Amino acid sequence: MTLAQLNPTVGDIDGNTSAILDAVDQATRERSDLIVTPEMAVLGYPPRDLLLREGVAERCRAAVNRIAARCTTTCALVGFPEPWPEGPRPFRNAVAVCRKGVVERVYAKRLLPTYDVFDEDRYFTPGNEPAVIDVAGERVGILVCEDLWRATDVTGGRRYTCDPVVDSLVRGATALAILSASPYILGKEAKHQARLAALAAKGTAVMAVNQAGANDDLIFDGRSRVIGPGGALGVAPTGWCRAFEADVRTFDVALPVGGASTHGDDDGSDELIEAMVCGIRDYLHKTGHRSALIGLSGGIDSALVAALAAMAIGGANVTGVLMPSRYSSQGSIDDALDTARRLSLKAAPVVPIERAHAALRETLGMTTFSFEGLADENLQSRLRGMILMAISNASGALVLTTGNKSELATGYATLYGDMCGGLAPIGDLLKTRVYAVARRLNERFGRFGFGHPPIPPASIEKVPSAELRPNQTDQDSLPPYDILDAIVEGRIEREEAVESIVARTGIDEATALRWSQAIDRMQYKRDQGAVILKLTPRAFGRGRPMPIAGCSDAARQQTAST
């Protein structure tokens, strides 16, 4: 059988169909009995409200008929949205069984996720019947993503009234074919492997295909695999497709294949690097951008983003812009230039902001307001944002923002300033994680294609500072990052109340209260920010829709205490 691990672009029905047809042709040449594509392969996942556009679902069904016509000697399981006027929702998340030149039957996904980034109940009517088909002497049960995972891979499970896996096995399935578009989340892969191995250990062959690549904020790690009956494990990558990229491979299900992932590491830094590179590469490619633009400060955040961008599209396609002010240290300027040299960036122009800053202050002096302190600091940040966006307009390069999750959580980022840009590659990395990933990249530079450590050691070792006033450091305004990140993790990843954060971490109540309140208040900034690549279970973005005008428990506690 053939695993067609594809990297579809949402909405590119013709391009996606062409990739599926190429995979069918390969499977035919290799005399494969069955080819399995990812979930929603014809349209791409997640389609979101593009599904509602006139004619989209009908074009997908026509594409499925084209694919079926090519399937003369092999059977293909093809994911697509099926128009469904008979149900409460207009479509079904469906699988076409293509064989002998026709669509033999259609299976509809039965469990529809509606949590985190998923909103399938908005569009799809669930199926109500299992599908088990005969292929080359095997009884193959068809499942689509949540039909198997049941949210146990991310949230601890959901209450569903049926179990499609059990229903398939009761109907005599000897093998399971799983079509998935399961987004990457740090740590999820181990849960997937355990679930699939447990199924195979019961004597059922498992053929699991996952989408690869990235669409918008979501990254898909692929890692499609075959595990033979009994769960016997071979040596990776015998039964695996590559991670984070398209890969079409044919396997013999009767053989004891499987194996452990080759992408594991102690703290997940290796796979995080691969995921972010994939996210940057596909976002640029699928939005029609050939180059990227980054503001280089000499700090660790911009250095890491620049390194990831260079890995994704090559340093020759990345421009780093230095925008020093009178507060910028010579060390920071040197570190920024060193970053550009280490990565062989296309250019690293130095555009001082002092004259523009002075002119803007003079202009604002005509008002009755005072622009000292924070207002003056934000002027500098917004000038830098304006410069980057102007260069972006002139060059066509996409601006990558450099803010991390800790900054975005607490509002330690300037709206229309350092938040300007189209994509936030490290917006789901806590500051402490940024350090870990940067150190890993330098330690294993050869593995990631560099001839030397790509990040200046000084950018990692020096005290972090925005350099918007004399002798400024981040810790003038923020707690130490290990303390702050423990609060952010509790508030965002766990959605904990202040009391729970204090009890779990031992952080003093006043600190936990202040920064929990800041996290809640800064939602208005995040709602206007760049697209953030999702790397953790609770990322800022579509999967965490929070009110802007509201009263949080932190605010209530503050009111009670005063």
Is position 145 annotated as part of the catalytic site?
Answer: yes
- Distance between CA 336 and CA 284 in Å, rounded? 23
Q: Which residues contact 457 (CB under 8 A, 6 or more apart)?
A: 442
User: Which contacts (CB < 8 Å, 24+ apart) does range 221-225 have?
Assistant: 221/184, 221/189, 221/271, 221/275, 221/278, 222/5, 222/246, 222/247, 223/189, 223/192, 223/261, 223/263, 224/3, 224/5, 224/249, 225/3, 225/196, 225/258, 225/259
Phi then psi dihedrals of residue 367, to 5 deg: -90, 180
CA angle 205, 259, 224 (to 5 degrees): 65
- Give the DSSP per-residue string, 481-492: HHHHHHHHIIII
DSSP code, position 45: S
Kindly write down the DSSP assignment for every residue of 461-513, as one continuous string: HSPP---SSTT--GGGTS--HHHHHHHHIIIIIS---HHHHHHHH---HHHHH
- CA 155: distance to chain centroid? 17
| Separation of alpha carbons 434 and 499, rounded Å | 27
The position carrying tokens 């069984």 is: 97
Question: How many Cα atoms within 13 Å fall on the side-chain side of residue 501?
Answer: 29
CA distance 154 to 88: 28
Q: Contact, 242 vs 222, CB < 8 A?
A: yes
Q: Is 189 a catalytic residue?
A: no
Q: Out of 71, 75, 98, 145, which one is annotated catalytic? A: 145
Compute the distance between CA of residue 199 and CA of residue 191 in angstroms, rounded to an integer: 13
Burial class (CB in 10 A: 0-12, 13-18, 19+), 380: buried
- Whether the bond between 237 and the residue before it is cis, its omega within 30 degrees of 0, is yes
Token pair recorded at residue 390: 């102007």
Q: Which of 60, 82, 109, 120 is catalytic?
A: 109
Cα–Cα distances (Å) from 225 to 140, 147, 251, in that order, read 16, 17, 9
Contact 557, 550 (CB under 8 A): no
Measured between alpha carbons, how far is 405 from 417 in angstroms, rounded to an integer? 16
Give phi and psi for 74, each to the nearest 5. Answer: -130, 160
Q: Respond yes or no: is residue 551 known to be catalytic.
A: no
C-beta separation of 216 from 287 below 8 A: no
**Residue 311, helix vs strand vs coil:** helix
Structure tokens, 525? 């900034």
Asked whether 8 and 38 are in contact (CB, 8 A), the reply is: yes
Peptide bond into 164 cis (omega under 30): no
- What is the rounded distance in angstroms from the CA atom of residue 481 to the CA atom of residue 464? 10
Q: Please state, in angstroms and rounded to a whole number, the distance separating the CA atoms of residues 348 and 328.
A: 16
- DSSP-derived letter for residue 52 is G
Stated length of the chain: 562
Q: Which residues are the active-site residues?
A: 39, 109, 145
